[in-house]
Amino acid sequence: MNSSKGDSKRLALFLIMQVLIIAFVIFYFNFIKPKNSLELYQSFSFAKDYEEAKQFMLEGYEDYLDEDDFHYINNLNTIAEQINQFTLFVYNDKTYVLMTSPGTHKLEVLNVEELPEEVRAYFLKMGKDMK
């Protein structure tokens, strides 16, 4: 009988640990990492230092955050006038920019426009520079 009680306790402990791990993962992805432009702005604005802000960068892209730019964003004397969120749809011959709603649970499209060729070229170059 003691063996059965011990097995039950181990099973209960194992299940509790699994639930805690799953809860942590859900919490991490839903509350720690920014999900949209508004949350990203807040994360940069309230970061304690440059190293903390770099944690929000995708692995391998940390060097694209310039320390001077971080300090400007993080400075209490500089407050963003607007926080916009955009998505680019790139095709062979055209690029469309979609302005989406920052800070909402699901993306909602606010505006769609085809990019002029010079702006399209700028974003295409930016993407190539990062690879």
Name residue 90's beta-bridge partners.
95
Q: Is there a contact between 76 and 67 (Cβ–Cβ < 8 Å)?
A: no
Q: Is residue 74 a contact partner of residue 47, using CB atoms and an 8 Å limit?
A: yes
Q: Rounded to whole angstroms, how far apart are CA atoms 30 and 19?
A: 16
Say which DSSP state 116 is in.
P
Q: What is the percent of the chain where pLDDT is above 90?
A: 37
The answer, yes or no, to whether residue 130 has pLDDT greater than 80, is no
Q: What is the mean predicted confidence (pLDDT) over 17-25?
A: 86
pTM of the model: 0.64
Per-residue pLDDT at 32 exceeds 80: no
Mean pLDDT rounded to a whole number for the chain: 87
In this prediction, residues 82-90 reach a mean pLDDT of: 92
